[in-house]
Amino acid sequence: MLPVEIRFCRPEDQAALVEIEAQGQPFPWASGVFAQDLRGEGGVFYLGAQAPKGVLCGFAVGRVERGDLLLLNLGVHLRYRRQGVGLQLLAALGETGTYLGCHRLRLHVRFSNEGARQFYGDLGFRRLLRIPAYYEDGEDAEEWVGALPLSLVRPEASAAASGSEEG
């Protein structure tokens, strides 16, 4: 796992956020959305993952909504994927939500995003429902929920730590 420093994002992070977003989304957020949010106008907060050399390598966007923490976006730079950055961002987001008095973390995932669905399922999130034509392009979303505080031990990591192997 790549150790990263999690911090709140600042307006000067906008270019890096836009770059990361463009790498991972079929319909990325516009640069203006990031600018507005980073000025504090969107009612959301951004957590950034900073790699050891100071590079912003990932981000998570959250908002409190009806007592739940809603994960609006999670992105990791291509060079830093599959190194635990997303997991660390999710853990920090969960801690922030708990601090803010939330008891659940909710999120939406594109139905076609098998990797994300597997990731959240492996972490113990539950699929609540499928939302038809949720995205601009007409694709369905799935709404997932996890209890706060999050328990983010992936099953394969747990088995490896205990020395057991599953067939």
pLDDT, one tens digit per residue, over 5-47 is: 999 999 999 999 999 999 978 789 999 999 999 998 878 999 9
Domains and CATH numbers, the chain: 5-160 (3.40.630.30)
161 CB neighbour count, 10 Å cutoff: 9
Phi-psi category of residue 66: left, alpha or beta, with phi > 0 → left and psi -120 to 50 → alpha: left
Phi-psi category of residue 71: left, alpha or beta, with phi > 0 → left and psi -120 to 50 → alpha: beta
SS3 assignment, position 22? helix
Determine contact, residues 75/23, Cβ cutoff 8 Å. yes
pLDDT at 163: 45
Determine contact, residues 10/38, Cβ cutoff 8 Å. yes
Those residues whose C-beta lies under 8 Å from the C-beta of residue 164, and which sit 6 or more positions away, are none
What pTM did the predictor assign? 0.86
Determine contact, residues 63/39, Cβ cutoff 8 Å. no
